[in-house]
Structure 1
């Protein structure tokens, strides 16, 4: 289970790594599964230390903490993760020149610890080691210790995670790396238990041996670290790509990725692969995209297979315990194959991406099950993860105190139930509720041997629906609405009861990239979900709202970023915010994900200011990250000498890669503008994907979103719907909603009000065809829609039915 490193690693993993073409060949690092009972007891035993107490007020759920015996430099930081360690006896430094200089002056190695505030195993290592006075003395006497929040400094995390993966074949958090004072790593690992056990060295043994090795073999360690970084840098460097991507790769990568995913599909429980099961929304996105592609080329019978895989997976996830049935939203992953027992952490990037694929499924099927799930997620984010000024927070922890005043925290304590608690809370309908959610006196974590191998949840229940509502309602002789209403009322009672429990720690850090993902999902929901769907049969935790409220959430989040994390003069972003902007600059993902969100905010909401900002941000992204010669985008600006590696990411994992999102952004922009600007965007997208041609060809399953981008690039015609009129009118909004009543990922929507001088000037400069359409539409004195390919348009239409017919005509072509 543990990934502790050996002290003097053999070179074989590094050699294998160096034979690969890039960093993204490596499996991405994963968090650890829930710990065993023994580890839990060790992590939470009363050893005279603070037990998982959080430094910020939002994280304290176990009463008033005792006075702090220690304070270190992290107390002046803003990151919740760093603040959690501000009262360790370890003399922590934040990442920066002060720490580097101190290591050089003392001529001692650096111990670098990287994690994040909602990381369970980071908490475990803190309690076991960083709050231990003996461990702290070893660190303080022999090392300069640096603590890094991986969410605040993903650039630093990437360097040393890549090193650990290359040297030891795996990675995860907490990440533990030993560096020379010149920041070159010479040994690393992940979680280390405090003492020797199971034939593995404990953390104190590791510290002593590293200190001794530094004193006797310093030159060897420094040389080895320098060589490792040089070799990794060479392996990660991308040769200049040819200017043209092969037609075969463009046309084959989408199918290849689909076929490989289909081979790993789980027909019993949905999803791709086996336990533990992580939501990877880009896989669902590809399946739905491929289904639409097959329909467009007249192969409707084949399209049902990928569509069914995607929709069944979404249903299984929604019914599983990975979905918070009481409060809404999704947990990080399930430890078993049936989506039942989760790692209870909730991440914003999961919520945003899952909401989007549920919205897509609804647009395709018109089944309100999927739109209700999108609302379930978005209403949770609005309620529990959104700040007073519209900022959207990062995560909620998996661990929490079991009761007020408890001195320890447990994984999932906030979310699990005894059958007695359910009976008492739900009342007369508890039998119906218990049958539906598989609640048992003995606990229900018994569906798989992997669900609870150490009996951590004995007597506890993680709510799961083993049958859908319609089947259960039929067996009970009830209507679906009546049955669903009983469940909804019961969930509301449990929700209210749950509010009396200590809440998990909220990481209220605002990350630009993750907010960009959320902006996209809220903007899209504002038009894809309609009022009829909301009123149909949605019950708590879906609270129901006017879709325009979702648009307001997206706009407020965007405005917060522009106000607090964007410099109007330099046009640059800052990566994150908590009690003020962070020191870290914006990274590729921040620009790419925010641009994608702003493009959706314009296409679904219509305000030209968001499109203008997206265009400006794309120009800044090109300036800071684009490899104009080699093609593609680096993940960092390359301006910080303490960051030793500058790489081009391509892996579409739990988050999509910045290069995949950028490719789609460029294609979208090329479909909106004309002449030179369109060609420039298109060429950059083409050159970007040429960099990753071998990846698309040989390992397409690693880059599902980039495969979709490749297909978008291969499509010869660019589809646009230009809607002209008064944007505040019901007719205009009806036209926009009609466009989004069907699923088409290759369609661009341009909204323009010819009475607005700002908009007319923008399009006059960016696309004369659109400006001309707007002027000509004034003759109609009503809202007009133009359905176009490459801005060659059919006759304009003024009725919703005519527009719907044009958009949903039988597809032709190859």
Structure 2
């Protein structure tokens, strides 16, 4: 996204794809760092902080309109010290100032625009700002001129306002511990989700509609605990509708960010790694609980996309793909009827048009203009089996496969959307977890191998840096890891142990969990801060708990602590988990449906939870069969360990001391099923084992 200026600014030395997109802007951008703030102090200028990410549509729009415009850039450079931040590279900065924006304006989003004093205290916040004023909204040019006058003529008042805003934010973010939560909190969340559920199209609320997979994880556990069929129905309706709509890329696979309409047809076309990981987990769990092949197939399609298009040479996973190509959102993904007919020919073309609900005038209305565009989004009105019945086609899956492959090959000749190729530890942790869970539940070893490769790449960075890091790109690890990096990677490693039974991943999970406690734990009030105790403090050390597009680090950490407590038999982790729950219980109990990943942990803590140890030879048929039977089932509140028979001093004994006594009987695979460390008689057959569950 090069502007008029040929000479690069300071961003040219950065590795972030987003910052590099702005390296040729005529705006004299600084990266976040001491240099920018020292200049602001020396020249007595306010800071113009712009936060976005490389696949953000409206970030591109504001860049083209304003940051590539010589006149606007000259104004910005005269009045401010401008700083660009990639929110994905520096989520710590983004979290603070997004909270500021939401408190000051009642909403948030990207690009995020913050104007602040040289000591980082904000006095203006907004999101996308058009170049010129219109429809009663102040444009960037008028805003800059107004701030110039205020900074020169009412400087003391601005400084005072910034101080008051900062004090209010700091006070707002401090939260004292509350009471313990119980089953009533789970029920309240269920009732709130039920009231928001869209019975016709699935999902929650109207438009825009987000997948929010942790809502589905919670509902599956609620169904299991209370035998509430309606909870399961909500999950399956949502997953079924999402799999038919345009939010899923039926040609290249993978899910787009969200649907702009309530029926999942017209997506915001961006694809994020975390969405693929979280949604695939929801389909995997739906497969475990129902045994329906369609959910297995959807998880497999997501992984096919990720492993084909989002995997780096190192074996880790890239961050995102843009919504835009050739300057238009969704151009890569949409089709005209004439184009499809040309590619497929008469017979297949007519079938495709019918199956995909294509229309000559287009099957969706442009979000901005409300007019039909002549282009179409691939979607289905019914699942394939029902379509086959309606159209009386016996081999519909084979026909559809041929159509898809031809359209895919044709689409690959188009200009692809930009791919953000940085590697983030937190999002990779989620993908490692998702691949590992699917490797176990779907019985697919290649997923476990992919998860291992990504995990090993990240864990190897310890040797270079001595600490877990947040971002990697082109040979460089940068930014000390935050709570999400730790929590999500620990989650991934626990799942990877459960898929591979390689103890090194369990040992790394325990090591990282100790670091998480040492560097992030709030000794006074409980819970984990977002940033490490030895990292830069901007306005305040925040603690994130809301489960939004991505679950919070604290919510994931809760489940990690509980599982590690069950694995190790060490009650200290249960104590941390109890304090963590109480740290946030006031917020959670106020609106439980906003914290459904936290409630997944609460469900585990309320029990009954299971510790299952299989004692047997690591690769013997009876051992593998017992493990497979367990992994195919939906048993979310269980930890599964392997005590490998015939190995001298296996590492699991040093991790989980109690497994020393749980031995193979007569050389046969033997299952020990324990509830809160009270174990039933050992079982040497699958039938006996299942009876004890």
Q: TM-score, normalised by structure 1?
A: 0.83
1:569–1:475 Cα change, 3 Å: closer
Which of the numbers 642, 658, 661 marks the counterpart of 1:772? 661
Equivalences for 1:685-724 in 2 at 5 Å?
Answer: 685-715=577-607, 717-724=608-615
Moved over 6 A (4+): none
Q: Report if the CA contact (8 A) 1:656-1:705 is conserved.
A: yes
CA RMSD of aligned residues (A): 1.7
Cα shift at 1:625? 0.8
- Residue 437, structure 1, aligned to residue 352, structure 2: no
Q: Which moved more, 1:577-586 or 1:597-606?
A: 577-586
Q: Report if the CA contact (8 A) 1:667-1:681 is conserved.
A: yes
Equivalences for 1:287-366 in 2 at 5 Å?
Answer: 287-295=219-227, 303-366=228-291
Aligned partner of residue 51 in structure 2, secondary structure = strand
- Residue 501, structure 1, aligned to residue 417, structure 2: no
For structure 2, which runs of at least 5 residues remain unmatched after alignment? Answer: none
Equivalences for 1:76-225 in 2 at 5 Å?
Answer: 76-225=13-162
Q: Partners of 2:465 and 2:313 in 1: how far apart?
A: 27
Aligned partner of residue 780 in structure 1, secondary structure = coil
Equivalences for 1:569-608 in 2 at 5 Å?
Answer: 570=466, 572-608=467-503
Aligned partner of residue 759 in structure 1, secondary structure = coil
- Residue 281, structure 1, aligned to residue 213, structure 2: yes
Deviation sequence 1:503-549 (CA, Å, 0-9, x none): 0000011111100110011001112114xxxxxxxxxxxxxxxx110
Q: Partners of 1:159 and 1:792 in 2: how far apart?
A: 45
- Residue 734, structure 1, aligned to residue 625, structure 2: yes
Cα shift at 1:754? 3.6
In the other structure, the counterpart of 2:293 is: 368
Q: Report if the CA contact (8 A) 1:445-1:458 is conserved.
A: yes
Cα shift at 1:702? 1.0
Cα shift at 1:378? 0.9
Q: Taking CA–CA contacts closer than 8 Å with sequence separation of 6 or more, which of the two structures ends up with the larger relative contact order?
A: 1
Q: Partners of 1:569 and 1:90 in 2: how far apart?
A: 34
Cα shift at 1:767? 3.1
In the other structure, the counterpart of 1:472 is: 387
Q: Report if the CA contact (8 A) 1:282-1:653 is conserved.
A: no
For structure 1, which runs of at least 5 residues remain unmatched after alignment? Answer: 1-51, 54-65, 296-302, 402-408, 531-546, 808-814
In the other structure, the counterpart of 2:642 is: 751
Q: Partners of 2:683 and 2:381 in 1: how far apart?
A: 47
Deviation sequence 1:706-742 (CA, Å, 0-9, x none): 1222222122x43021112232334333222110121
Cα shift at 1:606? 0.7
Cα shift at 1:436? 1.2
Q: Partners of 1:197 and 1:556 in 2: how far apart?
A: 51
Deviation sequence 1:395-417 (CA, Å, 0-9, x none): 0000001xxxxxxx100010000
Q: Report if the CA contact (8 A) 2:609-2:638 is conserved.
A: yes
Cα shift at 1:431? 1.7
Q: Report if the CA contact (8 A) 1:443-1:460 is conserved.
A: yes
Q: Partners of 2:590 and 2:613 in 1: how far apart?
A: 39
Cα shift at 1:215? 1.2
In the other structure, the counterpart of 2:329 is: 411
In the other structure, the counterpart of 1:789 is: 675
Q: TM-score, normalised by structure 2?
A: 0.97
Cα shift at 1:199? 2.1
In the other structure, the counterpart of 2:429 is: 516
Deviation sequence 1:481-518 (CA, Å, 0-9, x none): x1111111111111100000000000011111100110
Cα shift at 1:220? 1.6
Cα shift at 1:759? 2.8
In the other structure, the counterpart of 1:37 is: none
Cα shift at 1:758? 5.7
- Residue 460, structure 1, aligned to residue 375, structure 2: yes
In the other structure, the counterpart of 2:455 is: 558
Cα shift at 1:555? 0.4
Q: Report if the CA contact (8 A) 1:281-1:353 is conserved.
A: yes
Cα shift at 1:768? 2.8
Q: Partners of 1:465 and 1:497 in 2: how far apart?
A: 20
In the other structure, the counterpart of 1:22 is: none
Q: Partners of 1:758 and 1:194 in 2: how far apart?
A: 68
Q: Partners of 2:153 and 2:574 in 1: how far apart?
A: 56
Cα shift at 1:753? 1.6
Deviation sequence 1:22-68 (CA, Å, 0-9, x none): xxxxxxxxxxxxxxxxxxxxxxxxxxxxxx45xxxxxxxxxxxx996
